[in-house]
Amino acid sequence: MTKISQSEKVPKHMQGIFDAIVIQTDNFCKTHLDDEYAQLARQATAALCRRRPSPLANGHVQTWACAMVYALGSVNFLFDKSQTPSMSASDLCAVFGVSKSTGAAKSKIVRDALKMGQLDPRWTRPSKLADNPMAWMIMVNGLIVDVRDLPRELQEAAFARGLIPCLPE
């Protein structure tokens, strides 16, 4: 499992953009979601600020803030009413003052740039990581297996190599 950088360091020329986006995502997450979404949004924003060229250099701050939360919401099933927290994509975009089509389009740019996908362990909320089956899948002798079904010494080896987020209970 490729780890994402938890660093919020960005190039000096991108610091203003980073700060402006993070203010919006932090406020949104504090009001409507939780601290885990806020932290992931900061990490995603920093990762995109470090890309060359950064897609965040062009466009409106509120559009990119919406796109960050929208992309993370897609990975974490934010739009599923059975999840907590949850909200519709339309409501998310409306809070940022962005059309749903623009929010979805910019979200795709974020997901593609950061190689995000559904159930992506790198972008899963930490409280939900243990429930994410993709976090526990590794390849052993050409077969994909759930590491939780393997002997403890293989689990420890997988953890030491950074293939799983933690040792299963």
Burial degree of 6 (CB within 10 A; 0-12, 13-18, 19+): exposed
Looking at residue 64, its amino acid is W
Q: What percent of the chain has pLDDT over 90?
A: 61
Superfamily of domain 12-117: Cyclin-like (1.10.472.10)
Residue ranges of domains in the chain = 12-117, 132-169
- pLDDT band at 167, cuts 50/70/90? confident
Which residue shows structure tokens 């466009």? 59
Between 161 and 66, residue with greater pLDDT = 66
Question: Per residue in 100-137, pLDDT tens?
Answer: 999 999 999 999 999 998 888 889 898 888 888 788 88
Residue 5: is its pLDDT beyond 60?
A: no
Instruction: Please name the residues in contact with 96: beta carbons below 8 A apart, sequence gap of 6 or more.
Output: 24, 28, 62, 63, 65, 66, 69, 103
**pLDDT for residue 4:** 56
Distance CA 102, CA 64 (A): 10
**pLDDT for residue 123:** 92
Averaged pLDDT of the chain: 90
Give the pair of three-digit tokens for residue 82. 């059975």
Cβ atoms of 114 and 47 within 8 Å: the answer is yes
Could you give the 3-state DSSP secondary structure of residue 88? Answer: coil
- pLDDT band at 6, cuts 50/70/90? low
**pLDDT for residue 135:** 80
pTM: 0.84
- pLDDT band at 163, cuts 50/70/90? confident
Residue 1: is its pLDDT beyond 80?
A: no
